[in-house]
Amino acid sequence: MDAAYVSADDIRDHFSKAMSAMYQQEVPQYGTLLSLVERVNRDVLADDADLARSLEASDELARLSVERHGAIRVGLPEELALLRRMFAVMGMYPVGYYDLAAAGVPVHSTAFRPVDDDALRRNPFRVFTSLLRLELIENAALREQAREILSHREIVTPEAQALIARCEAQGGLNAADAEAFVQAALDTFRWHHDATVDRATYDRLHQEHRLIADVVSFHGPHINHLTPRTLDIDAVQQQMPSVGIDPKAVIEGPPRRCCPILLRQTSFKALEETITFADSVAGHHTARFGEIEQRGVALTQKGRALYDQLLAQSRQLPAAQDNATHQAQLAEVFQAFPDDLDTLRREGLAFFHYYAAPDAKVSLPEHIDAETLEALVDQGVLFCQPMIYEDFLPVSAAGIFQSNLGGEERDEYASQANQAQFEHDLGADVIDEIALYASREQASLDAALAVLKGRC
Ligand code: OOG
Ligand code: NI
């Protein structure tokens, strides 16, 4: 890349910080949550020197304080495709496909995020992006009206569009353009107190599904939450009420474990905000909330299948009303999931980064098979660190959607997942997240072995 251009990583870092500052202004409770998470993270690190060392070794510590994900929802394929181009300026690419229709939410989604090790280390900002599936609106007149309303809005300012096109044409943005881009891009995600529809239309959309009203009635895809990463989600959940935040009833995802896997999440309820409809009538809308997450090791296909199986098993049990009971039930079921790093690795359940031990010298055979690899790890010649899960979980995401949609659940939509349609609308294929972890693991192993070979 031309040295005159700002790196995509710098633009993303700048943008994620600007977005966090904007959201703190818009939703002051988010600022309170950030302080709580920072305090808990500091306490955890002070109490657990081993964890601090391991996070430091795997470059997790430095990014912890900047790490966030956000979520947005768009209404039309063109909007999704335009945002793909906008996120690409910041080195964020669509990873994974999530079908939420199965959980009664009429959207399908991807996560825009950085993909390579260096970019993830620098700032792993992720945006969970959902496309409304208008075809799931049963009432044909309302469906057409929603499409019509959406066709009149422009979610990316002309200035931002021009800068995206410039970046694509020349392969980067200079410092002044990058700064202008960040400011212009922020506008897309701002909250608007004024709805684009009148009261009656809003009510009709709302009656169909609250989420449809949220996507269709406003000028753009306002950021609906930003989520910091904590090292102890149980502690944050427990302490939320003491700082005036009311968490959702249960933590989503796997139970607490010695070796955290995938992702655990909890949120606080959406705020009721005053809005003005297009016919000047005042009203309320709830959309924006706060969330926290704790991330663990990424699972292989085999590990993920075991997770899905155990989660499904736990969901057969009578639903627990409080978090303690829910966690106890989950923990019981998840005893079937190995909980030490060695077993997770040996059984091919989780992904790891490999490193050459400093000063280790061995002569390596031409072909490294699984047995040799084990021996190298046992001898301390190769180190491994868990590779952190960078993605989302559809069942958890559905739980988060439900809780901030007011808890009213609806039955699943009959429709099937439709990744091909989503990719068509996106204008690109989504990256397969498991393949991505596997290739990062292989690359780290290749690099570690190359270091060892270089020493002989
Ligand atoms: C997205 C909900 C999903 C997560 O962390 O799983 C999500 C939304 O409400 O738009 O953010
Ligand atoms: Ni989220």
Ligand with an atom nearest the CA of residue 404: 1
Domains and CATH numbers, the chain: 8-297+390-431 (3.10.180.80)
If you measure from the C-alpha of residue 211 to the centroid of ligand 1, how many angstroms do you get, rounded to a whole number? 12
If you measure from the C-alpha of residue 331 to the centroid of ligand 2, how many angstroms do you get, rounded to a whole number? 23
**Model confidence band, residue 93 (pLDDT cutoffs 50, 70, 90):** very high
pLDDT tens for residues 96-147?
999 998 888 899 999 999 999 999 999 999 999 999 999 988 899 999 999 9
- Cα three-residue angle 429-433-438, rounded to 5 degrees: 125
Task: Please tell me if the CB atom of residue 334 comes closer than 6 angstroms to any atom of ligand 1.
Answer: no
| Interacting residues of 110 by C-beta distance below 8 A, sequence separation 6+ | 94, 95, 96, 97, 98, 129, 422, 426, 430
pLDDT tens for residues 16-64?
999 999 999 999 889 999 999 999 999 999 999 999 998 888 778 888 9
> Half-sphere exposure of 27 toward its Cβ, with a 13 Å CA cutoff?
29
Give the integer Cα–Cα distance in Å for 275 and 65: 33
Q: Which of 72, 110, 128 is the best mutation target for the ligand 1 pocket, counting ligand atoms within 8 Å of the beta carbon and taking the most?
A: 128
- pLDDT score for 289: 86
Residues with Cβ–ion distance below 5 A, ligand 2: 71, 227, 291
pLDDT tens for residues 135-182?
988 899 999 999 999 999 999 999 999 999 999 999 999 999 999 999
- pLDDT score for 406: 63
Task: Please tell me if the CB atom of residue 314 comes closer than 6 angstroms to any atom of ligand 1.
Answer: no
Q: Where are the beta strands (DSSP E) in 229-348?
A: 263-268, 272-276, 282-286, 290-295
- Residue with the smallest CA separation from ligand 1 atom 11 is 71
**Model confidence band, residue 323 (pLDDT cutoffs 50, 70, 90):** confident
Q: Are 290 and 27 in contact (CB under 8 A)?
A: yes
Residue 291 Cα: closest atom of ligand 1:
5
Ligand with an atom nearest the CA of residue 227: 2
Residues making up the chain, counted from first to last: 456
- Residue with the smallest CA separation from ligand 1 atom 5 is 397
Residue 392 Cα: closest atom of ligand 1:
6
The residue among 324, 349, 342, 326 whose CA lies nearest residue 261 is 349
- Residue with the smallest CA separation from ligand 1 atom 9 is 401
Strand partners, 268: 247, 290
Rg (CA), the chain: 23
Task: Please tell me if the CB atom of residue 74 comes closer than 6 angstroms to any atom of ligand 1.
Answer: no
Strand partners, 382: 356
> Strand 126-132 to strand 107-113: parallel, antiparallel, or no bridges (unpaired)?
antiparallel
DSSP collapsed to 3 states, 94-162: EEEEEECHHHCCCEEEEEEECCCHHHHHHCCCEEEEEEECHHHCCCHHHHHHHHHHHHCCCCCCHHHHH
Dihedral (CA of 213, 219, 221, 223) sign: negative
> Strand 68-74 to strand 126-132: parallel, antiparallel, or no bridges (unpaired)?
parallel
Q: Dihedral angle at the C-alpha atoms of 430, 436, 439, 445, nearest 10 degrees?
A: 160
When pLDDT is averaged across residues 191-220 and rounded to a whole number, the result is: 95
If you measure from the C-alpha of residue 398 to the centroid of ligand 1, how many angstroms do you get, rounded to a whole number? 7
